[in-house]
Structure 1
Amino acid sequence: MTLVNIVVILVVIGLVMWLINTYIPMAGAIKSLLNIVVFVVVLIWVLQTFGLIGAILGLKIPPLK
């Protein structure tokens, strides 16, 4: 996976989260929880993609191809 692919994926995720936060009405607590969960999942994926962390026991995030 190239750096360009990773940047494009991060931009798409950011755009989707912005659209969800802007146009889908939901309680503030649910919105905050959704943002935190997405951030943590994306952070773990990026760290695994760059090889900074290994696989987390019981958690397998498949690589995007």
Structure 2
Amino acid sequence: MLMLEISHYGTTGTEMKILTKAMCWDVKSIKNDRLNEVGAAIYQKPTSNECYESRKESKPP
């Protein structure tokens, strides 16, 4: 599993959703801290390349 900040290096949550969907990663958890408003998301890579190879776009993200 991979954990990334929601606003990772200046990207927005929406941009991260688009990117991770293109990479066939599944969102396992998204948490936001109420006190300091820091957010984190946990993603899981697929165990095979089946999803990645069947994408409509042939160019990698």
Question: Which has a greater percent of helix?
Answer: 1
More strand by percentage: 2
More relative contact order, 1 or 2 (CA 8 Å, 6+ apart): 2
Higher radius of gyration, 1 or 2: 1
